[in-house]
Structure 1
Amino acid sequence: MEIQLRDHTDGKLTRDQSELSKRVLEQAAQKLAVPSNAEMSLTFVLNPEIRELNRDYRGVDRATDVISFAIEDDDDLAGLPEEVRAELPVELGDLIISVDKIEEQALFLNHSEERELGYLLVHGFLHLNGYDHEESDDEQEMFTLQEEILDELGLSR
């Protein structure tokens, strides 16, 4: 899976966080059997930028921890021959994570920043792959899968 990582944090994102992010997303992709030609972007921001995105796209004027923008373009490919579609990359979408929220929430929840980052990455990645937590059954499925992936990475609570 190709991950395009962007850093909008004015140097606040650490190398360890970047490396952990790639490991977490690769593990999640493997667990979900995401095709190897999948692509996604991961952007790290500060609270003011994610607040603006949250306000503009979700109508909520406050900073949040992670925003997922899934790409659902199967209809755009419907007219293409199967052999052509098979060679095109699978575009999952974009994840935006606030490094400020990683720190804040890790402190509040009394666990490591690594655990918090892993949680946000897996949670957002599952949303990019069609999981949600609107209904209790869906929530149970998503959160169980989330914890399995984090446990496999040694990022248990």
Structure 2
Amino acid sequence: MLPSFPDLDLAFRIECKELSTGIWTDPNKGYKLWHELFRVWLSDLSSELPTIFQAEIYTLGLRLINDTQIQKINRDWRQNDKPTDVLSFAANSAEVFHSMSESNIQLNKLVELGDIIISLESAARQARELNHSLEEELHWLASHGLLHLLGWDHPNEILLNTMLRRQEKLILKLEYKKNSRIDNQC
């Protein structure tokens, strides 16, 4: 039996077209690829999600921007005035979700996850440093952002390694094989 894939309303924007190379950063082809990839990942994660995150339809934003843009967002929202590779902004805070009683929640029709913002400049630089493709780096960063939107976090080494191992499982859903990234902490 095939797994059930949730519906996804994906808002996909590329704000640095000058850095766009390949189909994953193409506004039209990229949308279709990201849409399908996130659906596969959400399906794979579904059995692990708390009831409050289980839904028939998800909404998610994915923006590809440059280092200058992500530095401004990082400064304004995290008081960290430097570029970073990926930021994620959950639509609902963890406190809201944790205050809900799971026993009183049924399957949601729609869950708004939030936004993932990736710097194409940082992704390209990291791909060169790690000797793999931009596509692989974008997948790694997107999977990291998605896990954050679903409540994963890494305040310590143990939780970071747990999160990185789960990212690797998501990446293995793709056709290519990656070298282990657990030692190259994010």
TM tier, shorter chain?
Answer: 0.7 to 0.9
Amino acid at match of 1:25: F
The answer to whether the 8 A contact 2:84-2:119 is kept is yes
**Greater relative contact order (CA < 8 Å, ≥ 6 in sequence):** 1
* 2:134 is the alignment partner of 1:113: yes
- Give distance in 1, aligned partners of 2:9 and 2:21: 20
Q: Say which of 15, 24, 27 aligns to 1:8.
A: 15
TM-score of the pair, normalised by structure 2: 0.72
The answer to whether the 8 A contact 2:55-2:108 is kept is no
* 2:68 is the alignment partner of 1:48: yes
**Residue ranges of structure 2 left out of the alignment (5+ in a row):** 1-7, 25-29, 47-53, 180-186
Over the aligned positions, Cα root-mean-square deviation in angstroms equals 2.3
Counterparts of 1:55-74 in structure 2, within 5 Å, are: 55-72=75-92, 74=96
How big is the shift at 1:142? 1.1
Count of residues in Structure 1 that have an aligned counterpart in Structure 2: 151
1:105 aligns to what SS in structure 2? helix
Counterpart of 2:158?
Answer: 137
How big is the shift at 1:22? 2.8
Taking a change above 3 Å as real, the CA distance of residues 115 and 10 of structure 1, as seen in their structure-2 partners, is closer
2:17 aligns to what SS in structure 1? coil
- Give distance in 1, aligned partners of 2:33 and 2:153: 24
**Residue ranges of structure 1 left out of the alignment (5+ in a row):** none
2:153 aligns to what SS in structure 1? coil
TM-score of the pair, normalised by structure 1: 0.84
1:152 aligns to what SS in structure 2? coil
